[in-house]
Amino acid sequence: MSTELAKPEPIRYEASEIELVKKTIAAGATEDELRLFLYDCRRQNVHPLDKLVHFSKRGGKYTPITSIDFMRMRAAADGDHAGTDDPVFDIDDNSDKLPRWSKVTVYKLVQGHKCPFTATARWSEYCPGRENEAFMWRKMPRLMLGKCAEALALRKAFPKQLHGIYEKAERMTADDGARSHEDRGERTRETVSGGGKDGAPKLPPPTSTSPEDLRPESEVLFPDPQADVERERLLTEIRSKAEKAKIPRKDRDDAWNTYCGTATPSNADLAALADLLKWVETRAR
């Protein structure tokens, strides 16, 4: 008897339901934004009226957001999710200071092996500068930063399932993008700590970061030469075959986002790169 799980039937929307979504959940959406939102819901096989995927606009652009529980559900759906560690912070549990960063490791079964996918979220990059959105960050700072780190790690481990889906806490600073890193850090210090007037713990000074800084500290301090060699080999083969097949740049970028998510070429997961190479080879036929 086959043990293969049956695929769920695609969700269909009635015209009246779409009209209701447009008037309520996605109020203010343009026709194109509404189509994108419905596409994202179909891709996740959820109904928009169930409110598992939410319509939002940040910085004037549509962005789908969800809860950390929904991201956990999607990661566990195919049976490859092998557990998630509790968030780790740079401060002790009993400290009254705000954390500078939180780190979470998600485990995934890759070809029968339990592989770790670690991601780091930094306070200065995620805590919002607006008073009305900083309330939860002041009330439960570890919870909010920990959710951001877990969402990053889940997307890193499961890019196909979670590409383009963000936890609400991750998107709170989207409207602050025009400000510099230093400005955002200064606003956050004033908003969350109240300038020392409300007794809240002080925000540690913001630190400059780069994409390389977002790699787990173990990878930065103790890089794996063998993994770097294999990563470079895969990247070279991907580039060569993609150029030979004349795959359009846009298609390449979309495929990278699908398989590797927010990773950079220097820290992309080897399994994800292997899957991307298979995609390129399929397009080249």
Rounded Cα–Cα distance for residues 171 and 47 (Å)? 22
Residues 48 and 104 in one domain: no
Same domain, 96 and 10: no
In this structure, is residue 60 part of a structural domain? no
Statement to judge: residues 24 and 81 lie in one domain: no
Q: What is the pLDDT of residue 173?
A: 67
pLDDT at residue 114, as a whole number: 94
**Is residue 84, in this structure, part of any structural domain at all?**
yes
Q: What is the pLDDT of residue 209?
A: 37
Contact 63, 56 (CB under 8 A): yes
Same domain, 128 and 51: no
Output DSSP code: residue 120.
E
User: What is 88-104 written as a DSSP string?
Assistant: EESS-TT--SPPSEEEE
Residue-wise pLDDT tens for the chain (285 aa)? 344 445 566 777 888 888 898 888 888 889 999 998 998 888 888 888 888 888 888 777 888 888 888 899 889 988 999 999 999 999 998 888 899 999 999 999 999 999 999 999 999 888 887 665 677 888 889 999 999 999 999 999 999 888 878 888 887 765 444 333 434 443 343 334 444 444 333 443 333 333 333 333 333 333 344 556 777 888 888 888 888 888 888 888 878 877 776 667 776 777 778 878 888 888 887
Adjacent-strand bridge partners of 119:
104
pLDDT given at position 113: 93
Same domain (yes/no): 1, 132:
no
Q: What is the model's pLDDT at position 142?
A: 93
Could you tell me if 125 and 77 lie in one domain? yes
Quick one: 90 and 23 in the same domain?
Answer: no
Q: Which two tokens stand for residue 268?
A: 């992309």
pLDDT at 8: 61
Domains in the chain, number:
3
168, 191, 218 — which closes off a domain?
218
Domain that includes residue 228, residue range: 223-284
Q: Are 157 and 126 in contact (CB under 8 A)?
A: no
Concatenated DSSP letters of 213-280: GGS-HHHHHS--HHHHHHHHHHHHHHHHHHHHTT--HHHHHHHHHHHHTT--TTT--HHHHHHHHHHH
> What single letter denotes the amino acid at residue 37?
F
Q: Is residue 260 domain-shared with residue 214, that is, in the same domain? A: no
Residue 42 has a pLDDT of 86
What is the Cα 131 distance to its own chain's centre?
24
CA distance 12 to 71: 22
